[in-house]
Structure 1
Amino acid sequence: MASSQCCENPPALNPAGGEGKVVDSFGGLKAYVAGSDDAKAAVVLISDVFGFEAPNLRKIADKVASSGFFVVVPDFLHGDPYAPENAERSIPVWIKSHAPENAFEEAKPVIAALKEKGVSTVGAAGYCWGAKVVVELAKANEIQAAVLLHPSLVTVDDIKEVKCPISILGAEIDKTSPPELVKHFEQVLSANGVAHFVKIFPGVAHGWSVRYSHDDAAAVKSAEEALADMIDCFNKNLK
C-alpha cells in the first residue's frame, strides 16, 4: 500500500495553470494538453494522487511539449484528488475508489485518440500513484516507452512483465519504493533483456520530482535532472 510519504507536501492546485489548455474530453476524459497538434510522438503524463491541476506537473507537461511532443495529462481522478485535510478519507480509503487499474483501462481510449489524430508513437510517464498506471500500460504493449518516477504500488512481478524500454527514477529517501526495491527492478530488467535506465537520486525524498518548492535551489536542480532524464528516454524511444 502507498505510504503516508506519498501524501506529503500537497500542491496548491490551479485549474487554469500552464501554457497549454484544458479540454473537456480527450479520449473520454477531461485533460490538460500541450504541444503541436502535428507532432508524431506523444506523451501521456499521469499524475500522483494530487491530480492533473498540480502547477509543477503542468510546467513539466509544457517542457516535454517544448521538446517536440504532444502531451496529454488526463484527469484520471475525475476531479477528486486526494485531500490530506479530509481526515475521514485516508490514502488507503481513497485508493479503493481510485484504483490504478481503472485508470489503466481509461488510458486505452486516450492512446487510441492520440493515434486517431496521427500520432505514431506514444510514451507515458507517471509519478507515485501514476507510475502504477504506466507500468500496466508497459505490460500490455500499449506504449513504446515508459518512465516511472518514485513509483508507488509497483511490484517486482509488474516489472517482470514490462514490454517496452523503461526508465525508473527513484529517491534515496523513499519508504514507498526504497533504493533496494528499485535496484531489484533493475536486476529484473537486465535479466529479461529489456532496455532500461535506472537511477537513484541522492538526498531527495519520495515525490521530489513533482512536489518540489521553487524556493529550494537544490530541489529544483534534482527535479530538472529528472525531467531531463525523462525527456531523454522519450527522445531515444519515440522519435
Structure 2
Amino acid sequence: MSKADGLKFQLLKLNSSGKVVAELSKGYYTKAAVLLHPSRVTLDDIKGTASLTQFTVEKTLTFKNIETLGKTDKGFEDAKRVIAALKNKGVSGIGAVGFCWGGKVVAELSKGYYTKAAVLLHPSRVTLDDIKEIKTPIAILAAQFDNSTAPELVKQFKEVLSTNKIDNFVKIFPGVSHGWTVRYKDDNVTAVKSANEAHQDMLDWFTKYVQKT
C-alpha cells in the first residue's frame, strides 16, 4: 500500500446536517463502526468479502434497548474485533477516532497498542486515570463549553500526557459546545468553520502517525 489505511470509529450517529468525516479522508480506507447496537461485529463479517474496500458494517440502530446505549465496555470489545479483522486483512496502519462517549472507547484502545494514533473529539467519560495509561500518540479536541469534559480537565490531560512523554496535541476550541464537530447547521458559517478546523486537525494527526509515504 502506498498509504496506510485509517480506521475511524465514529461512535455517535451523525446528525443529518453533519458532515461525514469520511468524505474528508482522502487516501484512507475509512470505517465508521456504529457500536451503539447490542449486536456484534464478527470476523466472519469481513472474511467473506472479496476485498477490504467491499467490507461494510451496516447495523440498524434502534432505541428499544436504550439501556444498552453508551456501554463503553461493549464498544471497546467490538472495536478490538474490528481492528483484529482489519489486521487479518493485511492493514498495517490503523488510527481510531471517537466522538463523545466514543472517546472513552478510543481512550481504552490507546492504553494498549491496538492503533498507531488516536483522536478524541469532545470526549465524555474519559478520566484522568484513563489518560495516565495512554501509550499511543493522541490528539484531544475539546470544546470551551462542555459539561462532559471541562476545559480545566482537558488541561490536566495535557499535563499528564506531556509528563508521561506521550506525543499529544490538545486543543480547546473557543465558542463551541459539546458535539460541535458533528452537530451543526450548514448555513452557520462560524459553526462550519470550527467543525472543519477540527476535522482537519484530526486528519493532520493521522497523516503524521498513520499515513505512509
Instruction: Measure how far apart 1:57 and its partner are.
Output: 5.9
Instruction: Measure how far apart 1:58 and its partner are.
Output: 6.1
| CA gap 1:200/1:153 in 2 versus in 1, 3 angstroms | same
Name the SS of the counterpart of 1:46 in structure 2. coil
Partner of 2:8: 44
Uncovered stretches (5+) of structure 2, i.e. residues with no partner: 38-59
Partner of 2:73: 101
Cα RMSD after superposing both structures: 2.1
Asked if the contact 1:40/1:118 (under 8 Å) is kept, the reply is no
Structure 1 counterpart of 2:71, one-letter code: A
Name the SS of the counterpart of 2:8 in structure 1. strand
- Distance in structure 2 (CA, Å) of the matches to 1:132 and 1:119: 24
Report % sequence identity: 47
Instruction: Measure how far apart 1:56 and its partner are.
Output: 5.6
| CA gap 1:81/1:225 in 2 versus in 1, 3 angstroms | farther
- Distance in structure 2 (CA, Å) of the matches to 1:180 and 1:75: 30
C-alpha distance after superposition, 1:129-159 (max 9, x if no partner): 1111100100122111010001000000000
- Whether 1:62 aligns to 2:23 is yes
- Distance in structure 2 (CA, Å) of the matches to 1:58 and 1:216: 13
- Distance in structure 2 (CA, Å) of the matches to 1:162 and 1:57: 29
Name the SS of the counterpart of 1:184 in structure 2. helix
Partner of 1:192: 164
Asked if the contact 2:8/2:96 (under 8 Å) is kept, the reply is yes
**Which one of 35, 58, 76 corresponds to residue 35 of structure 2?**
76
- Distance in structure 2 (CA, Å) of the matches to 1:212 and 1:238: 28
Which one has the bigger strand percentage?
1
Name the SS of the counterpart of 1:73 in structure 2. coil
- Distance in structure 2 (CA, Å) of the matches to 1:81 and 1:39: 36
Instruction: Measure how far apart 1:194 and its partner are.
Output: 0.2
Name the SS of the counterpart of 2:173 in structure 1. strand
Partner of 2:100: 128
Asked if the contact 1:127/1:150 (under 8 Å) is kept, the reply is yes
Partner of 1:177: 149
- Distance in structure 1 (CA, Å) of the matches to 2:10 and 2:146: 20
- Which structure has more relative contact order (CA 8 Å, sep 6+)? It is 2
Instruction: Measure how far apart 1:44 and its partner are.
Output: 2.3
Structure 2 counterpart of 1:72, one-letter code: K
- Distance in structure 2 (CA, Å) of the matches to 1:140 and 1:40: 20
**Which one of 165, 186, 191 corresponds to residue 219 of structure 1?**
191
| CA gap 1:81/1:150 in 2 versus in 1, 3 angstroms | farther
- Distance in structure 2 (CA, Å) of the matches to 1:109 and 1:135: 16
Instruction: Measure how far apart 1:81 and its partner are.
Output: 5.8
- Distance in structure 2 (CA, Å) of the matches to 1:162 and 1:56: 33
**Which one of 200, 203, 206 corresponds to residue 231 of structure 1?**
203
C-alpha distance after superposition, 1:149-208 (max 9, x if no partner): 010000000000011000000100111111000000000001100000000000000100
Equivalence map 1:142-161=2 (5 Å): 142-161=114-133
